[in-house]
Amino acid sequence: MLSVLIVDDEVEIREGLRNRFSWEEYGFQHIMIADDGISALEIANTSKPELIITDIKMNRMSGLEFLNELFQKKDSDYNPQTIVISGYDDFNLVKEALKIGVIDYILKPINMEELKQVVTKTIENIYRERLEIQTEAQLHSHANFAIGKIREELLLEMLQHEFDPFWETRRSHRLHNSGLEWMLDRTMTLLLIEADDLRAIEKQGIKEKELIQFGIGNVVQQTLNEEYTEPFALCLDHMSRWIVILAVTHSDEVKSPHEMATMFLQRINQYVKVPISIGLKTTIRNINQLREMYNEASFILGQKAVYGGNKIFIDKLLDEDTEHESLSMKEPLEVIDLIKYGSDEDISAALEAFDDMVKGWKLIHIRDIQQQLFEWLYELIHRLSSPGLSSKLKADNPIALWEQLEQYDTLQSLRELTERYLLAMAEEWRGQSTAIGQIVTEAEKMINKSYASNISLQSVADSVHVTSVWLSKLFRKEKGVTFLEYLTSVRMEKAKLMLGDVKYKIYQISYEVGYKDPVHFSKLFKKQVGCTPKEYRRQRGITTD
């Protein structure tokens, strides 16, 4: 479907060209008209007709001025075919028109046969240009696809094999051909992005897995294009994880790798609607250390087996439960566990966050603050309420609580009152609560039973009916080690037993004791035992692996 714009200030010529020429036979469905260059310019910029026929002389703005203006402002993807109408004495103007890109001209009075010939030639030009654009686009697409495959293969080769100086010149040449030459002289960091519970997704069908992989990659690519101003590279590894390599700069104007990781997590959750985990190698390295960075990011990502997914894990390994030990006063369950299992010193220390909690309510009037604090305290009392509690703390006595609160009108005094209530509740509870040792014992049983599964601090905490914050604290207090240290110890003891049996390969042992990544398992084993699994076997005379 084509369109033509006819421009002439003489109505007879303008209407004659519109009505007497069989435009439909030549594929023109839209015939537009203008009576001078000014109105023609507006129509051309808006409607972008494929063909423009204009008188060379007109009032207000001539055809030559109109075309000059149009060609100066035209979009890169808009290249109309143009024909001028002239008189015998306008040849100098015609020459100027031809210089600026007009393809032909017709003389007045207009001969319809001559017009047919010129329009036929014009249509041939239009379709030839369309074909050239389409061919160029296809070639560009094929070239981009080929370069993309070459780039992906090169990246995976560098990530999965040790740096070999012998191939450095060849590698440099391949990087230039792949558009990755920036990697030769830039420091980099690496992120590894993995959909959580990917095996469960695979059971839903291969297409579902591929759609999720595509969706994650698409969101990451678009986010990088929009938000990251330094060079980057992106590819998919053999374990269906997206690898992101970022050129690092210390400019405040460039988003940090952690900021980018946070964006990836938020946008993938929002648009792809799947939980993901990200292993972030914040330490910057050069191209010769890519494989090391990749392995370390894999190791970091393995932490989700303990801490749960949909998080960002950074290269300071969370071999302590510090991220779970920060109590939130806003979470009633965490405050309840503070009352149940914390000491008086723990309660006093936790109340240092009282002011921040109250300010977070964003209330101005003291009456509103008293009301909000009443609801907060009453919920705690209600959850802890039992026949053993004294009458002033029982949940059926809210009036006494309110009468106490309304006596105090400063943040300091309300905090002191709150502390007295929490300490009183803790004292009452200690006389009739489950022993701390029993909770830790139940947690130990679960760890020893389920160490090979995707066990985490949160899942164990749920099973023993405490928050992850307090299971972490209680574990450290009772056992003298963190939850993760205990879990790792159990897994490694089982691994040592299995390493003594020649029927197991090391990668099989890794899976059997709860680690999906054998590299992660080997590094952890060496850290725990002092030697690698292979070395452990050799020390015992086993060399079959």
Q: Is residue 248 pLDDT above 90, yes or no?
A: no
Q: Can you list the domains of the chain with their CATH numbers?
A: 2-131 (3.40.50.2300), 161-316 (3.30.70.270), 332-430 (no CATH), 437-539 (1.10.10.60)
- Quick one: CA dihedral 203, 206, 207, 211, positive or negative? positive
Lowest-pLDDT range of 213-222, 255-264, 429-438: 429-438
Query: What confidence tens digit (pLDDT) does each residue in 268-306 have?
Result: 999 998 999 999 987 778 888 888 888 888 888 877 765
Query: What is the tally of helices (H) and strands (E) in the chain?
Result: 24, 10
Query: What confidence tens digit (pLDDT) does each residue in 120-130 have?
Result: 988 888 888 87
Model pLDDT, residue 143: 47
Model pLDDT, residue 217: 92
Q: Is residue 388 pLDDT above 60, yes or no?
A: no
How far is the C-alpha of 300 from the C-alpha of 317, rounded, in Å?
7
Q: Is residue 49 pLDDT above 90, yes or no?
A: yes
Model pLDDT, residue 150: 75
Note the helical H segments in 464-532: 468-479, 483-499, 506-512, 518-529
- Residue showing tokens 């080929």: 146
Region 473-483: what's the mean pLDDT?
Answer: 83
Region 469-497: what's the mean pLDDT?
Answer: 87
Q: Percent of the chain having pLDDT more than 70?
A: 88
Model pLDDT, residue 434: 54
∠ Cα 276 277 279 (to 5°):
150
Calculate the alpha carbon distances from 245 to 28, 229, 233, 325 in Å. Answer: 51, 13, 5, 32
**Where in 103-247 does DSSP place strands (E)?**
104-107, 188-195, 232-236, 242-247
- Quick one: CA dihedral 299, 305, 306, 310, positive or negative? positive
Model confidence, pTM: 0.40
Model pLDDT, residue 319: 39
Of 288, 264, 286, 284, the C-alpha closest to 276 is: 264
Q: Is residue 329 pLDDT above 50, yes or no?
A: yes
**257-271, 286-300, 332-346 — most confident range:** 257-271
More confident residue, 336 or 207: 336
Model pLDDT, residue 323: 40
Look up residue 255 and give its two tokens. Answer: 């988003």
Model pLDDT, residue 393: 55
Calculate the alpha carbon distances from 415 to 213, 334, 352 in Å. Answer: 50, 18, 9
**Where in 196-269 does DSSP place strands (E)?**
232-236, 242-247
Q: Is residue 366 pLDDT above 70, yes or no?
A: yes
Region 2-13: what's the mean pLDDT?
Answer: 91
Query: What confidence tens digit (pLDDT) does each residue in 142-171 have?
Result: 545 555 677 888 888 888 877 777 778 888
- Categorize the per-residue pLDDT at 139 as very low, low, confident or very high, splitting at 50, 70 and 90: low
Model pLDDT, residue 53: 93
Model pLDDT, residue 76: 59
Model pLDDT, residue 457: 85
**8-22, 89-103, 188-202 — most confident range:** 8-22
Model pLDDT, residue 438: 81
**Contacts of 303 by beta carbon, 8 Å cutoff, 6+ apart:** 279, 313, 317, 318
Q: Is residue 135 pLDDT above 60, yes or no?
A: yes
How far is the C-alpha of 229 from the C-alpha of 249, rounded, in Å?
10
How far is the C-alpha of 498 from the C-alpha of 494, rounded, in Å?
6
- Residue showing tokens 């993938």: 268
More confident residue, 438 or 234: 234
Model pLDDT, residue 325: 53
What does the DSSP assignment read for 255-268?
Answer: --HHHHHHHHHHHI
**Contacts of 139 by beta carbon, 8 Å cutoff, 6+ apart:** none
537 neighbors 543 (Cβ within 8 angstroms): yes
Q: What average pLDDT does the chain have?
A: 83
